[in-house]
Structure 1
Amino acid sequence: MSLLELKNVSMAYGGKVLAVNNVDLTVEKGEWLAVMGPSGSGKTTLMNIIGCMDKATAGSVILDGVDLTEVSHRQLTTLRRDKIGMVFQQFHLIPYLTAVENIMVAQYYHSIPDKKEALAALARVGLEDRAAHLPSQLSGGEQQRVCIARALINYPVLILADEPTGNLDEANEKLVMQIFHELHDEGHTILTVTHAPEVGAEAERAIIMDHGRIVKSGVNRAV
């Protein structure tokens, strides 16, 4: 069953420049899709549209039964909070809060902070012993694992990861990708945006974008 469906989606800036150009894309529930391509290919713009950060200027974007092009920007913010778990390349952790407190902030904006639940989320990514540490006391790989725990805490329908290994060394990249494999095996729907072929190859399916269009698609971990 489709969780996400894009039909004839375009994004124009200044009325002329098409960052995304007439894209059709379907993502099934439980699927892991990698969106790949060089800088300027349109993959970040596509991520922003799917992630409820921008509205497409043409076409329709159906996420979990809701057409994102038909709702207000305020409603988009609510949908992003309720339906999407974001994992960023730059982590975006609050520096003066501990790992568990960073996760509880995400709970606060969604419903009610629950420390026990936040600690369980940290345990899910193998960081229960680092709960009281500040971001500055964590390695890059540990910070990214906190970000994954934060993304999962509100039970999103879609995990959206932007260059999730871009700031990690090889060892931590393998650890983070193993967590994504486990999440996929558990039935989570994942969309990773990356320029790294080795990261894209880990996904169940990958698409390659160029000049705002999907130019290639591969399945079964083959691009």
Structure 2
Amino acid sequence: MSLLELKDVSMEYNGKVKALEHINLSVERGDWVAIMGPSGSGKTTLMNIIGCMDTATGGSVVLDGVDITNAGRPELMRIRRDKIGMVFQQFHLIPYLTAVENVMVAQYYHSMPDREEAIAALARVGVAERADHLPSQLSGGEQQRVCIARALINYPVLILADEPTGNLDEANQNLVMQIFRELHEEGHTILTVTHSPEVGAAAERCVVIEHGHMKAQ
């Protein structure tokens, strides 16, 4: 069984605006898939449905054997917490918490905070020495690596990354992409939403969304 299976997924807003139409997508365990497309193409809407932040108005979505098509908000929140690790373009780190505390927040909502485990996650992405620094004391690349550590801390079945290099210079982009390559080699399942040809080329497979339709796979 595929880790993620979308069948005939559509999304309408106010019964008029069609953001997605008849999307079919299968993602196997260990895949690295890039979702690409211009602004307004529907790729962010697709990411929000996969990430349990929105519900499709048509079709079905199954994640890790769980049909989330008609799940309510509390169930979607639980599934997102337990099964998905999110990496955002804007980082979304809590500004008054240190790097390790930001990772531990994700643990808190999942089970039990564990500082040693959080430090190990930071070490995994090369920023353990910055554990007690606030986000404002970190570079953009360091902040994104903290985000990746936070995404990994609860052992998600799917890493979902939204423009993970969008706010980074070339050097930090290369560092972050190397981390994603290593995660893929370790068997993690990764879905990246990106405008970047470099990020798209790094994935095993590229899905192109244009005007709400899947154009290539």
Q: TM-score range by the shorter chain?
A: over 0.9
Alignment correspondent of 1:123: 123
Could you list the per-position Cα deviations for residues 23-73 of structure 1 after superposition, in whole angstroms to 9, with x for gaps in the alignment?
Answer: 000000000000000001000000000000000000000000111112211
Q: Give the number of aligned pairs.
A: 217
TM-score (structure 2 length as normaliser)? 0.99
Moved over 6 A (4+): none
Alignment correspondent of 1:150: 150
**1:174 aligned to 2:174?**
yes
TM-score (structure 1 length as normaliser)? 0.96
| Percentage of pairs with the same residue | 76
Structure 2: where are the runs of 5+ without partners? none
Q: What amino acid is the match of 2:57?
A: T
CA–CA separation in structure 2 for the residues paired with 1:9 and 1:131:
41
**1:95 aligned to 2:99?**
no
Alignment correspondent of 1:162: 162
1:171 deviates by: 0.3
Alignment correspondent of 1:220: none
CA–CA separation in structure 1 for the residues paired with 2:73 and 2:137:
37
1:198 deviates by: 1.4
**1:208 aligned to 2:208?**
yes
Alignment correspondent of 1:5: 5
Alignment of 1:3-152 (within 5 A): 3-152=3-152
CA–CA separation in structure 1 for the residues paired with 2:172 and 2:97:
23
Give the root-mean-square deviation of aligned CA atoms.
0.6
Structure 1: where are the runs of 5+ without partners? 218-223
CA–CA separation in structure 2 for the residues paired with 1:126 and 1:195:
26
